[in-house]
Chains A and B, each alone.
Chain A
């Protein structure tokens, strides 16, 4: 597609439930990133995929968070047993090289 597509755009979930957030990067972009922005905070790095290399998971805040990227394209971020502090906008970005990111519009997650 023309840009990075994320779905859903909004998600409200009950505390303790699992959620899956999807990211469709720009076709041909080998690098894919997940960030999140909590209220009043900057963007916080979560995870980075580059081609077939092992992902950089150093930003994942707990083992409740996981992500995968299938076929070098679509990525899914999964949050298990959601907590209220997980409420944030989750942003996906892709790039062909370096820091030339293109961000998606994000998924606003609200845990109630």
Chain B
């Protein structure tokens, strides 16, 4: 049962335009969300996070929006650059017994076209 869902496996965007990557979740107990970026043959790297007490968190060109009522979050990249081409994973902490494990979506492959 996928608790974090990324329904778009891929996205293509022109350089300079906005990229919007979406993520839905089913567990209303999730109170913190993270986005990771992964290049081929490398491990995922942390990009940005958001706590459920906020509805927006911004870091440079990256902004994450959280809509708790819709159980939906999105990552906006403005302006998109070719170096942003990667797979982006949405993740939420699994509130198991003291374990900081993360539940990940399947990822969205972003291609930024020069």
Contacts and interface: CB of A to CB of B under 8 A. Distances in A.
A33 B44 contact: no
Contact of A45 (B6, B9, B44, B103): B103
A45 B104 CA distance: 9
Interface in B59-94: 89, 91, 93-94
B43 A56 contact: no
Given A42-B89, A45-B94, A105 B43 contact: yes
A21 interface: no
A99 B93 contact: yes
B101 A56 contact: yes
Contact of B100 (A4, A98, A105): A98
Contacts of A95: 100
Contacts of A59: 101
B102 A40 contact: no
B104 A42 contact: yes
Contact of B101 (A4, A40, A48, A102): A48
Interface in B14-69: 32, 34, 41-46, 49
Given A43-B91, A43-B102, 19 more contacts: A33-B100, A41-B106, A42-B2, A42-B89, A42-B105, A44-B104, A45-B94, A45-B102, A45-B103, A48-B99, A48-B100, A53-B98, A59-B101, A93-B43, A99-B32, A99-B93, A101-B102, A103-B44, A106-B43
Interface of B: 2, 4, 6, 9, 32, 34, 41-46, 49, 89, 91, 93-94, 96-107
